[in-house]
Amino acid sequence: MRVTLVHSAREAEAVFGAVEQLFQSTFGYSPNKTAWSRFYFVNPYGDAIAALGWSGDRLVGHHALVPHVVTDAQGKTYRYYLAMSLMLHPEHRSFPAFHRLVATTTDAARRAEASFILGFPNSNSYALFQRAFGWKTLIETELYNWRPHAPASLAPDIETLPCLRLTDEAGPPCDAVYRQWRSLACPYNAEQVNRRLAVIYKIERDNTLTLLDALTDDPARSADDLGALLTHTGAYRVRMTGVHARMMGLDPAMMERHTDYRLRMCYAPLMEHPPSIRFSLLLSDVF
C-alpha cells in the first residue's frame, strides 16, 4: 500500500469521491457531507491532515486528523487534532496497513507542534491504538436512553448560556466562532434549566435529545429538570453517557442501554504536559 499525505482542503476535496466510495465499502453507508464539509472545508482552526492508502489508483485506506483547540481557565489555548475516519478496505485490512496510516498522520501532527491527538476509537481499533501508539484511555462509558415517569407539570425556567462550555476546565473555546462552526451540521443548545441544571444538547432527527454535557448543583432534582427540558423541547427521550448520568445523580442501572455501544475517549500526548480536559461529547466527531 502506497501512502500519500493530504494537507489542504483543496486536496481533500479533490479525493472526496474516492473517500466516499471507501467509506461505503468499509462501513456500509456514505458519510454525512455536511459534517464532512465542516471538518475539512470550513474549519476555522486550519486544514486537516489525511493519510491516504493506495493500491494502484484505488483508494483502500484513510485516516484523518482534524484541527481543534481547547482553552483553559487562564485563557491559554492548546491546539490539538481529533482523529477520525480510520478506514481500510476489507480486502486490505492488516496491522502493517493500519500502522502506516496512523504513523503518517501522527508524525505530521508532531511536526505541526500539536499538544495532543484526541480520539474516540471503535472496538476494532481501540486495542491497536493503545498497543502500537500508546494511546491513553481517559473515559470509557456506555450510552443510555432516559424518559421521565410522567410528563413535567410546570413549564421550566430556561436561560440561554453564553457558550458551549459549562466550567473553567479545559474545553471548547467560549466564542462565537466555535459555536457557529460547531452548529453548522446541527444546532447545539447551551441552557440552564430551573436555575439548577446546566446542559449542552442537540435534538436528533428521531426526536431524541442528545445530552453532550451537564452540570448541576442539585442532583436530587435532576430528573425533574430533565423532564422539564423534554417538555420544553418536545423531544421524546434523553440519550446520555453513564458518566453524565452519574454527574447528575442519576442511576444508569435504572435506564435502557442504547445498543451495546461503548464510547472510549482516548488521547496521545505530543507535549510533556497536555491539559486535563473536561469530558464532553462536543469533543467527538460522532455527536
pLDDT tens digits for range 134-186: 999 999 999 999 999 887 777 889 999 999 999 999 999 999 999 999 988 78
- Do residues 117 and 170 share a domain? no
What 42-48 contacts at long range (C-beta under 8 Å, 24+ apart), as own/partner pairs, is 42/181, 42/184, 43/9, 43/67, 43/181, 44/177, 44/178, 44/181, 45/69, 45/79, 47/7, 47/8, 47/9, 47/12, 48/6, 48/9, 48/12
Cα-to-chain-centroid distance, residue 204: 15
Distances (CA, A) of 271 to 5, 6, 50, 80, 171: 23, 23, 21, 10, 17
- Do residues 32 and 130 share a domain? yes
Q: What angle do CA 153, 154, 156 make, to 5 degrees?
A: 135
Range(s) of the domain holding residue 26 = 2-140+263-283
pLDDT of residue 286: 87
What pTM value is reported for the model?
0.92
pLDDT of residue 10: 84
pLDDT of residue 236: 92
Task: Say how far apart CA 19 and CA 5 lie, in whole Å.
Answer: 14
pLDDT of residue 240: 98
Residue 104, amino acid: T
- Do residues 127 and 267 share a domain? yes
pLDDT of residue 185: 79
Task: Say how far apart CA 263 and CA 121 lie, in whole Å.
Answer: 8
CATH code (residue 216)? 3.40.630
- Do residues 15 and 68 share a domain? yes
How confident is the model over 208-219, as a mean pLDDT?
97
How confident is the model over 271-280, as a mean pLDDT?
88
What percent of the chain shows pLDDT beyond 70? 100
Residues 23-41: pLDDT tens digits? 999 999 888 777 788 888 8
- The count of structural domains within the chain is 2
Residues 71-114: pLDDT tens digits? 988 889 999 999 999 999 999 999 999 999 999 999 999 999 99
Strand partners, 83: 65, 119
Q: Is the pLDDT of residue 233 over 90?
A: yes
CATH code (residue 90)? 3.40.630.30
pLDDT of residue 135: 95
- Check residue 105 and give left, alpha or beta (phi > 0: left; psi -120 to 50: alpha): alpha
Residue whose grid cell is 485506506: 61
pLDDT of residue 272: 79
pLDDT of residue 131: 93
- Range name among 8-12, 23-27, 54-58, 63-67 with the lowest pLDDT average: 8-12
Burial class (CB within 10 angstroms; exposed 0-12, middle 13-18, buried 19+) of 123:
exposed
Tell me which residue of 205, 202, 199, 206 sits closest to 250, measured CA to CA. 199
- Do residues 132 and 219 share a domain? no
Residue whose grid cell is 466562532: 177
Contact, 91 vs 192, CB < 8 A?
A: no
pLDDT of residue 35: 79
Contact, 207 vs 159, CB < 8 A?
A: no
